[in-house]
Each structure stands twice: as C-alpha cells, then as structure tokens.
Amino acid sequence: MVKKKISTQKVNPNISLKARLARIEDEKLLLSWVNDPLVRVNALKTNIISKDTHHIWFNSRLQNSKSCKILIIENEKEKPIGQVRIEKKKNKWFIDLSLAKFARGKKIGSKLLKVAINKFKKMGIKVFFAEVKPENKPSCRVFEKNKFEKKINSQKNLISFIYKK
C-alpha cells in the first residue's frame, strides 16, 4: 500500500501577505489550484478544466488586463498561498478567490482578500461583486469579514456580495 504524503506545512494566521500580478509562469500553479477537488465543488461550474482549455483562458486573461486582473498572494518568503481574480462582466468587477490546499483552515482567507482589495483599489477599482454557493460557508465568511454586503439570490440559488467602500 502506498501512503500519500500529507503536507504539514504550517501557516501562521498572523502571516504577512503581499500581492503581485500573475505571470505566465503561474499557469501550471493556477491550473493545479483550479482543479483541486474542493475548489471544483465550490465553483459555479464544477467540471474539471483541461490543460488546453486553461491555457487558452489564462493567456487571454493575461493579455486583457483592462477586463481581468489575477493576483497571486504570497507569504513573506514569496511562497504562493492563494489567488484573487477580478473580471469585468456587464460593467461590474466580479471577484473570485481560492487558497492553496495547505493554507486552508488557517484563518487567513479574510487577510488574503483584504490584501487583494487594497491592491485593486490602488489600480482604481473600488466596487466588487461576488457570487457564492450557499453551502460554501468559508467563502461566505471571508466576504462577510471584509464588509461585503450580503444578498440572497434565490433565482440563481446563490449568495451575492457587494463591496462599496
């Protein structure tokens, strides 16, 4: 029987985080994060994303920075721990985030989002929208802790969040 190696990497909730724009060399990392089973379950579209589909999507987003910005959030040792993406749809900036598996459950999701919002504000973006499945309690808590206004969208069976600070 082969034992899976379990990551015992520690993540301090008081960790110092910084945000940087995604680069072409982040493609493989982001593909692994987006296809993580927990991320797929919580995504609005739950299908696994192929390498080719992700490649086309990722490159188109990097080339169109007027309507999409992807931040890689790193710790003080420049180790990526999550991503926050905003994408303009119908003149609204929608925000999406995920944490690396080793960083989940460490009470840093709210800090990750706060760092990203501050970076996006410096880019001139002040209002953000998010849509979350009601069963995705951790993401709901992250948005609520960052002062997003919560609205139930029963037509879509989603929770909508808006940030206007």
pLDDT one-digit tens code per residue, 45-83: 999 999 999 999 999 999 999 999 999 999 999 999 999
Is residue 11 very low, low, confident or very high in pLDDT (cuts 50, 70, 90)? low
What pLDDT is attached to residue 3?
43
Give the global pTM.
0.88
30, 35, 36, 37 alpha-carbon torsion, rounded to 10° = 160
In-domain check, residue 10: no
CA distance 150 to 84: 19
Structural domain includes residue 9: no
Number of independent structural domains in the chain? 1
pLDDT value of position 10: 55
User: Is 6 within a domain?
Assistant: no
pLDDT band at 13 (very low <50, low <70, confident <90, very high): low
In tens, the pLDDT along 14-55 reads 789 999 999 999 999 999 999 999 999 999 999 999 999 999
Q: Is residue 1 part of a domain?
A: no
Confidence of residue 2 (pLDDT cuts 50, 70, 90): very low
> CA 95 to CA 113: how far, in whole Å?
9
Domain that holds residue 138: 18-164
CATH number at residue 73: 3.40.630.30
Domain membership of residue 89 (yes or no) is: yes
Question: Is residue 131 in some structural domain?
Answer: yes
Contact between 103 and 81 (Cβ < 8 Å): yes
